[in-house]
Every structure is written in C-alpha cells, then in structure tokens.
Chains A and B, each alone.
Chain A
Amino acid sequence: MASSSPLPGPRDGRLLLLHAADNVLVARGAIEADEPILVEGEMVTLPQALRLGHKIARRRIETGEPITKYGLPIGYAITAIDPGAHVHLHNVRSGYTSSIALDAEQGESNV
C-alpha cells in the first residue's frame, strides 16, 4: 500500500491534519488499539492505542525522510513507517541535535 505522495483522501474524524504538507496526523482524542481507522482513504488497524496529541503516519514514510508537522520538519524517520503506524520516539530522531553536528562538520547549518 506504499504511496509516496500525500494524497488527500477520506480520513477518520478523530485525526487532525495540521498542515497540507504534513506526513503525520494527530489524534484529536484517545483511539483504541485494534480499531480500524480510515487514513487518507486506506483502512488501517492501529496496533496500539493512540492518545490525544500522538501522531500516526499519513502515508508511507521512507527511512531518512523528514517527519513533517505544521508543514515543518520535526525530525526524520530512522526506519520506514507504514501508513497509520504510530510515529514517535521509536522511529523518529530529532533533526535538531544532528543539525548541530552538521554545523560543526560543515561550518554551516542546513535545515
């Protein structure tokens, strides 16, 4: 079901899209585990419960790809993430600390 473009599609009303360019959706409230939920036209089953403010992938996100929320990068994927999968500490790394390292290596920041 991989899809590289964030095509808008029908989505469960409990998921909030903060910016059109985002590849994550935010839970407006608690959503139970094993619940089928519509994500941009695809029916996915949440492997775990999702609490208010937690994120899931809006589409497939490849390893190394920026995670985009508010239309801006909040870090990058350290593994491929399937549509509907929880996006959090286990599959995302901060771009901030690495951009500091980048500063030191290249003498210039690059966000």
Chain B
Amino acid sequence: MSDIPASEMQGWLREDGRKGIRNVVAVAYLVECAHHVAREISLPLREDGVHLIGFPGCYPNDYALHMMERLCTHPNVGAVLLVSLGCESLDRHRLLRTIKASGRPVELVVIQGTGGTRASIAQGRAWVQQQRWSLDAMPTVPITAADLVIGTVCGGSDGTSGLTGNPAAGIAFDRLIEAGAACIFEETGELIGCEHIMAARAATPALGTLIRESVDKAARYYETMGFGSFAAGNAEGGLTTIEEKSLGAYAKSGSSPIVGLIKPGDIPTQGGLYLLDVVPDGEVRWGFPNISDNAEIVELIACGAHCVLFVTGRGSVVGSAISPVVKICANPDTYRRMADDMDVDAGRILDAGAELAEVGEEIANLVLSLAAGGQTRSEALGHQEFILTYKSFEPSGPACFPA
C-alpha cells in the first residue's frame, strides 16, 4: 500500500510484544506540586526525546492512575522518571510496580525525601541523561503497519473539515486497516444521529447495541452540561440535517467494520476499527468530558496510539507528548496562513482539484513514514502538549472487544 519501503520501517520492541515508533524518556509529575521540578528535569533534553507528562490532582482517581499506567508503559516510551512531592494521593507505588513489571527502567524521585527542589532536579537530570544514552544505544527491529495503533481527532473544525480532512483521514484509516493496523476514532458526542449507522457497521449485534448506548450516554451527558451539539444546524454552510453534520465528523472513521468499542486506556486486541467512548460513566461529575483537544489526544495515546491524525479547519498548532500528531488542514485558506504547522494540505481538494483518494493515500504514507525517520511538523516545532484530568469509567465488558 505504501511508498515507504518496508525495510526502512523500524521500531523498538517492548517486553509485552508491542513496538514503539519513538523511544522517549517520560518524566511524569504525580501532582501539580511536582510539576516545576519535573519540567526543570526534562527541559535540557526536551529536543532529545525527553517528554513531560503528569497529573495535577492531589485527590486520588482510578481513571487518572490507569491512564498514567498506560502512558508510562506505552510502546513509544522506553524509560520513566516519576517525580512525586511525597504527600499526594496518586498511588506512586502501584504506578512504579506497573512500570517495573513492563521491563522498563524506572526511577522515583520524591521531592520531600531528596531534600527539595535543587537536589531533586540534579538527581532527576542525572538519571534521565543516563537513560537517554542507554535508549539511544538500543537496537531497533523491523516494524509493519500491523504493529501500529492510529487515532484520529478533529479540532478547530469548520465547514471544510467534513468535506476534505475528515473523509481523507477516513480513507487513510481504510488503507491502514487493510494493512493490519488498529485505528481508533472518537467523540461520541459529535456522533449523535449516526448511532444507527454505526451500529449497523458493528462486527456483532451485541457491539451494535453497546455503540447505540454509548451515543445515548453522550447525548444525556452533554444535555446535562447545558449545551446541545445540534442547537443550530449550520444551514448557512450547506448542512441540511443533523445527521449530515454528524456524518462530517463520522467521515474520519472510513468505511471498515467497527470491531470494538473501547474506553480510555483500553488497548485494541487486534487490527481493525475501534470507537473510543470518551464520555464518563455514571452521573455527571468533574465537568466537560474533555476540556480541550489534547485531553482527547492523551486518551487515544493511552489506548496505545503510536500517532494521532488531527483534522483541523480553523487551524490548530498542537502536538503531543509521547506520540506524534499529524495535522491535516481541511481549509485551503488556513493552510496558506499556517502551512508551517501543517503536515497535510487536504484543502487542495477544494481549491486545486485534488481527489480525496490521493490525499488519503498521502496521509497513510505519512503515518508509515513516521516509523522510517519521518517527523511531524509539531514534533519539529517542539510541541509536546499534555493534559490529564479527573474522570470515572466502568470497565469495558467482553462484548466491547473482538472475539
């Protein structure tokens, strides 16, 4: 499927059998009070594959701990430094055990134990530098599309997103799934009106029912939050019905069967298309499901995404810690203004006669090139955004995963 010679695709093999396309050292603060120390530790090496992640809350939260476990054992992560203040509630002992069990080098700096800011920064930097040298010497192994998990989000959307960027991303998903990859799309709140169509695409009737229920949950949740996704359909922009608007977002899922419905931190068990349910279970607590695009990107990465396709119309500039973000610009005018931040000019479908299939191929090839020395624009520009907040989920049932 690809212009990228298979021999050039290389990754780093982890003990769980997954392979990373990056080999980063993650420096993770376990409460906001440790953020500054962790940032100071990571800063000198931030352009050499040392990424800062963390959770700001002092109160315990099962979701946040689970997310941190998944992120710290992500295939793109080779080693982890945990930075704790010492009195926060996140279970650093369990997190440490989980990372150790994954076979990764891990170290814990407890600021209250090391004697404060200066000593903690010095200790942390020395360890991180050692790990960087050691990871740089780690041999690579061949990697194929079947080793990859790819996520997609849209943000800063406008009327062009559903015409160019999202359908092109969907075509890329179809190509990558044909080649064996697992692909994840999300935001059930933007898929209200598509639930029957999605359910019909589900691999099993039981999964179809669960997909309908997940969209119903999103509709209830957003209603309680006080804003409807479809308050004023955008007829000006040519959208005629509710389902047409949702289908514009849905288009980024492509046309493969849906084999699973997962929640943040669930890892696809085989190739195919998965829907990620990002809306918390239970009563509405802690505000909006995802307060910004990076919260969704982090959840996709916690599901094992090696990279994330980000479709934007108005023009987002973000990247992410841990996994590269491929920015697909749907709007030709935005592309002209912000080309330096964009990986793919999907707007040329509108103003230069390009075909969707051609842009879709370009996106799929770009994803594979990331395992062959390629870099995204946001990586080159130093973007490493990260955000993790409070949520709660019930565990996914067996019918959510492929048999």
A interface with B by C-beta (< 8 Å): 13, 16, 18-19, 26-29, 51-55, 67, 69-75, 87-89, 92-97, 99, 109, 111
B residues near A27, Cβ cutoff 8 Å = 238
B247: which of A16, A72, A89, A109 is its contact (CB, 8 Å)?
Answer: A72
B residues near A71, Cβ cutoff 8 Å = 255
How far is A22 from B241 in the complex, measured between Cα atoms in Å? Answer: 16
A99: which of B167, B196, B250, B255 is its contact (CB, 8 Å)?
Answer: B196
B interface with A by C-beta (< 8 Å): 159-160, 163, 167, 193, 196-197, 200, 235, 237-244, 247-248, 250-251, 255, 349-351, 353, 356
How far is A52 from B351 in the complex, measured between Cα atoms in Å? Answer: 11
Determine whether the beta carbon of A74 is less than 8 Å from that of B350: no
A54-B242 CB under 8 A given contacts A16-B350, A29-B351, A72-B197: no
A53: which of B159, B200, B250, B251 is its contact (CB, 8 Å)?
Answer: B159
A–B pairs, 21, beta carbons within 8 Å? A19-B167, A26-B238, A27-B238, A28-B163, A28-B350, A29-B351, A51-B238, A52-B160, A53-B160, A55-B240, A71-B255, A74-B247, A75-B243, A75-B244, A87-B240, A96-B241, A96-B242, A97-B242, A109-B196, A111-B197, A111-B200
B residues near A73, Cβ cutoff 8 Å = 197, 243
A75: which of B163, B241, B251 is its contact (CB, 8 Å)?
Answer: B241
Q: Residue of B at shortest CB range from A110?
A: B196
B196: which of A16, A19, A111 is its contact (CB, 8 Å)?
Answer: A111
Q: Residue of A at shortest CB range from B239?
A: A53
CB distance from B167 to the nearest CB of A (A): 6
CB distance from B348 to the nearest CB of A (A): 10
B238: which of A53, A75, A96, A111 is its contact (CB, 8 Å)?
Answer: A53
Determine whether the beta carbon of B241 is less than 8 Å from that of A94: yes
Other 7 A-B pairs with CB < 8 A, given A92-B241, A96-B241, A99-B196: A28-B351, A29-B350, A52-B159, A70-B250, A71-B255, A88-B240, A95-B241
A residues near B242, Cβ cutoff 8 Å = 94, 96-97
How far is A71 from B167 in the complex, measured between Cα atoms in Å? Answer: 11
CB distance from B239 to the nearest CB of A (A): 7
Determine whether the beta carbon of A55 is less than 8 Å from that of B243: no
Determine whether the beta carbon of A13 is less than 8 Å from that of B353: yes
Q: Residue of B at shortest CB range from A74?
A: B244
CB distance from A77 to the nearest CB of B (A): 11
Determine whether the beta carbon of A53 is less than 8 Å from that of B241: no
The 4 closest A-B pairs by CB, nearest first: A53-B238, A54-B238, A74-B244, A94-B241
How far is A22 from B160 in the complex, measured between Cα atoms in Å? Answer: 18
A18-B350 CB under 8 A given contacts A53-B237, A74-B241, A89-B240: no
Determine whether the beta carbon of A69 is less than 8 Å from that of B350: no
B residues near A19, Cβ cutoff 8 Å = 167
Determine whether the beta carbon of B167 is less than 8 Å from that of A70: yes
How far is A28 from B159 in the complex, measured between Cα atoms in Å? Answer: 11
CB distance from A80 to the nearest CB of B (A): 17
B residues near A111, Cβ cutoff 8 Å = 196-197, 200
CB distance from B354 to the nearest CB of A (A): 10
B residues near A94, Cβ cutoff 8 Å = 240-243
Determine whether the beta carbon of B247 is less than 8 Å from that of A26: no
